Amino acid sequence: MTFHITIGWWLLPLLITAASFAWAVVESKADAKQGDGLFGGFTVVLAVMFRMPVAAAVSLLAWLIWALCC
């Protein structure tokens, strides 16, 4: 039994994962800079609680497609 890892095919889902989490972090930091006022900190937390699961779902979908196709 041999085990092969070809460089190249797994880079696309890795880049999608990195891009989706980078989007979530950058947008959350932008919200934190604008989060002044009474509910500023609360809305930042809500934004992070929404964006991180979305980024995780995008990442998992990319890896699922990769696993099914390759």
Q: Which residue in 18, 39, 40 sits closest to 30, CA to CA?
A: 40
pTM metric for this prediction = 0.74
pLDDT tens profile 13-58: 999 999 999 998 888 777 666 655 566 667 777 888 889 999 999 9
Q: Where are the domains of the chain?
A: 11-69
Tally the C-alpha atoms within 13 A of residue 41's C-alpha that lie toward its C-beta: 1
Predicted confidence at residue 29, as pLDDT, reads 73
> Per-residue pLDDT averaged across 7-12, rounded?
81
Of 3-7, 23-27, 49-53, 66-70, the range with the lowest mean pLDDT is 3-7
One-letter-per-residue 3-state SS of 13-70: HHHHHHHHHHHHHHHHHHHHHHCCCCCHHHHHHHHHHHHHHHHHHHHHHHHHHHHHHC
